[in-house]
Amino acid sequence: MNSQSPILGLTIAALLFSACSADQNAVIDDGRPVVVTTVAPITNIAQNIACDQAQVIGIVPEGVNSHTFEPKPSDATTMASADLVLVNGLNLELPTLELAERNISDDASIVLLGDRTIGPDEWIFDFSFPEADGDPNPHLWTNPLFGIRFAEIIRDELIALDPDGADTYTANADALIDQMEALDGAVRDATATVDRDRRKLLTYHDSFPYFAREYDWDVIGAIQPSDFSEPSPSEVAALIDQINEQRVPAIFGSEVFTSPVLEQIAEETGAVYVDDLRDDDLPGEVGSDQHSYLGLMVFDFQTMIDALGGDSSVLDSVPTANICTGATYAEE
């Protein structure tokens, strides 16, 4: 692929996409670097930069709770084949990180993307991630500027691992970062269409604090406590009071984790209940233009902005198609 021009390489990679099913454990011994990742946004960013220059294998299947995910014993074999392991960090995937530390070769490296993107002075603690527990909110990828930083780190790590692929990694990362910068600008424009007193997020899980801080929104609460249980009756009553006092027009649930509590809150407050936000589960079918990190962000931001009375149409112009695809997932 290095002999192709960047544009031609990206086009061919897209045309030659052949989706691998989630039940394949496809570590192929063909001399290419093996990159093991965790959650789908990281897997997708890595695959768009690596294209077919490296193998990218995701450990955490889409649509599962990444906080409670326990890797399988067979994942140790995948880790043993890795040249590079990319994790979010900030204590999001501790069992997977521990598995990597026990099983990678001496020549392999583990990169904690979140820990290299922000420092403790930028951590956010909240209802789902209280400071008393010591674990900051790890959902950095919902801030597109942090997505850009993830892409830069992944590019540099791939170049260090595989210098012969530097041209490919650089061209792909440049193209992806251009898309992310377009997303950032569109989010700012779309946010400006939402009245400031309506930019209030009550979600199933505290997934958007870094987005909110960057784009001048307020996260007023979350349903899911830090232990991932249902909230207590007193916590529900407090949220109902808060919604009524602040006149929150809409509340947001998860398409993966249904929440009867949010439905109850919506009924009692009159707020619109939107139940299809996604934390890290990419939208659309595998191989579609929407099945990407950028597709995930556009879907979530449009869902929130429209429900709160704004106009998200500027986000329609953000390119969400993958530069190239083909990441596999470890055998289930």
Same domain, 171 and 199: no
Domain tally for the chain?
Answer: 2
Residues 104 and 122 in one domain: yes
pLDDT at 26: 52
What pLDDT, on a 0 to 100 scale, did the predictor assign at position 289? 87
Residues 168 and 254 placed together within one structural domain of the fold = no
Q: What is the pTM of this model?
A: 0.88
Residue 20 has what pLDDT? 36
Do 82 and 170 share a domain, yes or no? Answer: yes
* Token pair belonging to 120: 């403790």
**pLDDT tens-place string over residues 183-211:** 999 999 999 999 999 999 999 888 999 99
Same domain, 242 and 256: yes
Are residue 218 and residue 304 in the same domain, yes or no? yes
pLDDT value of residue 184: 98
Q: Which parts of the chain sit beneath pLDDT 50?
A: 1-25, 332
Question: Residue 325's domain is classified under what CATH number?
Answer: 3.40.50.1980
Do the domain assignments include residue 167?
A: yes
Do 218 and 121 have their domain in common? no
- Is 166 part of a structural domain of the chain? yes
- Residues 173 and 223 reside in one and the same domain: no
Question: Distance of alpha carbon 285 from its chain centroid, rounded?
Answer: 17
In a domain, 151, yes or no: yes
Domain match, 156 and 288 both: no
Same domain, 33 and 151: yes
pLDDT of residue 227: 67
Specify if 141 maps to a domain: yes
Same domain assignment for residues 24 and 169: yes
Residue 138 sits in which domain range? 6-184+321-329
Residues 307 and 325 in one domain: no
- Does residue 189 belong to any structural domain of this protein? no
Q: Is residue 190 part of a domain?
A: no
Would you say residue 11 lies in a domain? yes
Q: Is residue 249 part of a domain?
A: yes
